[in-house]
Each structure stands twice: as C-alpha cells, then as structure tokens.
Amino acid sequence: MSTTQAAARGTNPLAADQDKGQLASVVLSTRDLPAMPHVAAKVLELSSDPDTSASQIQQVIADDQAMTARILKIANSAMYSCSRRIKTLTDAIVMLGFNSIRSLVVTSAARNLYNTRGSASGLKERLMWEHSIGCAFACRLLIQPRLPGLAEEAFLAGLMHDIGKLVLTQRLPAQFDTIVQTVYNENRSFVATEREHLGFDHTQVGAMLVNKWKFSPELEYVILHHHDAEALSPDQPLLLYLDLANRLCHQLGIGFQEDGTLDVVGSAANGILGLEPSVFDETAQALQETLESEMEIFI
C-alpha cells in the first residue's frame, strides 16, 4: 500500500506499513487456506498462451475427475444455453472457448475452498459462496449484452471479489466472528468494521491472494477497489459492473447481507454507465431464476 493510499484510508504511513506486514503474514503464511489446485493453476497458465491447443487443456483437466464432472454439469446449465448437450471435455472446450473453460475451472477450484464439511463456520462459508456465485452470475448478465469480450472476466470478478472474507474466516475465525456480529448488530459495513478490528480489510487480503495465484492485474485491481467509490471510472468498466452486481445481490438478499432499500439505479456506478431501471429488473429476475434452477450444481 502506498503512502498516498494509506492517507486516503485514514492511517499514517508507519501504521500502514505495520498493517501490510500483518496482512502479508495472514495471506502468505496461512496453512488454513488451500493453495490454488495444480490442475486449475495449469489451466490458467495454458489458457493465457495463444499457442495452446484444446487437446492440451483437455489432457490437464481430465486428470481431475471431480473437476471434469462439475465442468460438464455447469457447461450444460442454463448459464451457457448451448444448442446441444455437451458430453465431453473436448466438446466443452471447442463450444465454449478457452475463456469460459477458465471460468469453469476456477469456479470448481473456488468451490473447494468454500467446502464447509467439518467446519464450525459452515453457515458463513455457505452464505459467502452463495453471494460469490450470485455476484458472478449478475456481473455476467449485466455485462454480456454490452461488453461481451469482458463477460468471463466479469464472472471471475464476481466470483472472487470477496475471497478475502474466506481467508479471514478461516485464518482469523474468532476475530471474523466478532466482525460479523458487529456488522449485523450495528448495521455497519464489513470494510469499516474489518479496518477497525484488524487494521486492514478483505479487499486487500483478496487482492494479495489473487496476485499470489497469478490472476490478471485487472482482476487484482477490481478486487482491491470494489468498495472504493473514488475508484469508479469510465476507464474501469469491470469495476463498474461488479459494483452494480454486488449491490443487486445485497438488494436481493443473496449472501450475508440483505438491504431491499439499496439504490442500484441511482448508484455512482450507474451514474457513469446509465443503465435503465428495466435492465436491473430483468437482471434480477434472470438471476433469481438461474440460482433457483442451477444452484445445486454449484453447492
């Protein structure tokens, strides 16, 4: 974090440096959070190489039977609306393309991180996962008709934007329980409460984690700034659509927090994008229908 960023967040540079050291310790030294699975890491690497063939990606994914099964289920869901049933990985890769396959692989890998079996904080993790999936769907639904080239990156932004909360609930369970209780009892934001209790927040943790996992700098930026109103800009469409998707999910009560009075249409992000109210009504309906019909695939 730069001295300028520290000042903007209301901290002095020395305290910011101390917080950054603690933050690095939380993320980079934690053994509670699984590393990015080898298969997912390899697919991310291959999908970014223009010389990669479909057969190379197919060979890597095929080594993980559980991931293969989940990918085929998602590929045949209403989310992709393919004209014919996808029966093999090769079909999925050819019909959906490398970017979509990358999204499906990351979705499968991320689901394992939120696995609640044997966890005392299972309900929190499940709610976080539902919000992440809901936000991923909403982000994709909003951006697809307008910037189709960013659709899969938008899906990943929605999926990963709150990954820092998962780190906190697994690495600092007692502190995060206190944060959750404060958020509910005092109707406060997570970010403000996290900063008060920890000196940093889940956006910083999430950004460091996706950097460690070698996601794109654009995704890292969006995760770091997804609660930063000053970062909203026409030059950052991914951040704008994520802001709207996040607000819409909170408005609909998908995940931890529900706020039916939250203004999506009149938000700062939509002040830049200028989407009509009907867009959000249609997106909310499509989102709820998708979650009702497809959520069992992702649980």
Residue 114 in contact with residue 217, Cβ under 8 Å?
no
Which has the closest alpha carbon to 159: 201, 122, 114? 114
CATH of domain 121-299: 1.10.3210.10
Residue 47 in contact with residue 156, Cβ under 8 Å?
no
Q: What whole-number distance in Å separates Cα of residue 206 and Cα of residue 220? A: 8
Residues of the chain with CATH 1.10.3210.10: 121-299
Residues contacting residue 52 through CB under 8 Å, at least 6 positions apart: 46, 98
Q: What pLDDT does 18 receive?
A: 62
List average pLDDT for each run of 10 residues in the chain, which is 299 residues long.
Answer: 39 56 61 70 88 91 88 83 86 88 88 65 82 94 96 95 90 89 89 90 89 89 96 98 97 82 94 98 93 76
